[in-house]
Amino acid sequence: MRLRDKVALITGASNGVGRATAATFACEGAMVVVADIDDVTGADTVEEIHSAGGRAHYLHLDVTDEASWRTAIEEVLSHFGRLDVLVNNAGISGSCDTGLTSTDYFDRLMSVNARSVFLGIKHGSAAMRHSGGGSIVNLSSISASIGLRGVHIGYGASKAAVKSMTTTGAVHYAADGIRVNAVAPGMLPPMRTTRGTSSDPVFRATQVDAIPMKRVGEVQEVANVVLFLASDESSYVTGTETVVDGGWNSV
């Protein structure tokens, strides 16, 4: 088992990539803390893991709120005694129905997608130091590096902030035995918050056509990469961004 007895906190783990990552980690022997604001689906995720014989615990965590992070980390340490892996996965889509230049949505993107990762690195690394080190994996996006149509102009900026905090965090925490890496997916099934142009099937089909592999990625294909970065197999890997996009970024 690749994560035997490691304690892993995954944000946004009620759905999508986070949920697939939680199930994958549990299969590999981790004690998984499923953290989200979607409590009902979060309970389902935990139930699914238990049914498969894995270990999981649900925690309500609003990743934009620092007090919520403090409480979550305290709860993890008091229940499980340590934190080995943090996956900063929670996020909202850049494809909104408020207009691609809405200032309110810009602030929301920065809060949910970027401030959240700052808070996670800050509080997660403090807990990991007590555990003798750990691995932090941040969910970025190819939008951090390339421009995409139909996406709020702040989305890529929020993910570029994640990419930057990954490299800076790697340098800051290397001496504490904490690695910080990012995974940058391309096109996956739509996020729960995807609205507007990017939810239009015709528009999506034109985007898929631009992907060299001619298909959308699966959440499991992202979870597999997160697993590698979380595990000790990647013990000399830090400050990297792994692109999971079927070659889209290379066109």
Ligand X SMILES: NC(=O)c1ccc[n+]([C@@H]2O[C@H](COP(=O)([O-])OP(=O)(O)OC[C@H]3O[C@@H](n4cnc5c(N)ncnc54)[C@H](O)[C@@H]3O)[C@@H](O)[C@H]2O)c1
- As annotated, the active-site residues are 155
Minimum CB separation from ligand X for residue 179, in Å? 19
Closer by beta carbon to ligand X, 71 or else 177: 71
Task: Report whether 247 contacts 213 (CB < 8 A).
Answer: yes
- Rank residues 160 and 174 by Cβ distance to ligand X and give the closer one: 160
Q: Which residue is nearest to ligand X (CB)?
A: 16
- Alpha helix stretches (DSSP H) within the chain: 16-27, 39-51, 66-80, 103-109, 116-130, 153-173, 201-209, 219-230
> Given its phi and psi angles, is residue 214 left (phi above 0), alpha (psi -120 to 50 degrees) or beta?
left
Closer to ligand X by CB, 141 or 231: give it.
Answer: 141
- Name the one residue in this structure whose structure tokens are 């993107």: 109
Q: How many CB atoms lie within 10 A of CB 150?
A: 16
Angle at 104 between CA 99 and CA 106, to 5 degrees: 75
User: Could you tell me how many residues make up the chain?
Assistant: 251
Shortest Cβ 89–ligand X spacing (Å):
5
Name the minimum Å distance from CB 26 to ligand X: 17
Minimum distance between the CB of residue 11 and ligand X, rounded to whole angstroms? 6
Q: Which is nearer to ligand X, 90 or 137 (CB)?
A: 90
Q: How far is the CB of 145 from ligand X (least distance, A)?
A: 12
Alpha-carbon torsion (67, 101, 206, 209), positive or negative: negative
Give the nearer residue to ligand X in terms of CB position, either 48 or 176: 48
User: Taking a C-beta distance cutoff of 8 angstroms, is the pair 117, 182 a contact?
Assistant: no
As measured in angstroms, the least distance from the Cβ of 183 to ligand X is 8
- Please report, as ranges, the residues that interact with ligand X according to CB under 6 A: 11-12, 14-18, 36-38, 61-64, 89-92, 112, 139, 141, 185, 187-188, 191-193
Residue 53 CB coordination number (10 Å): 8
CB nearer to ligand X: give 176 or 224.
Answer: 224
- 3-state class of 118 per DSSP? helix
Cβ neighbours of residue 140 closer than 8 Å, sequence gap 6 or more: 159, 162, 163, 166, 182, 183, 184, 241
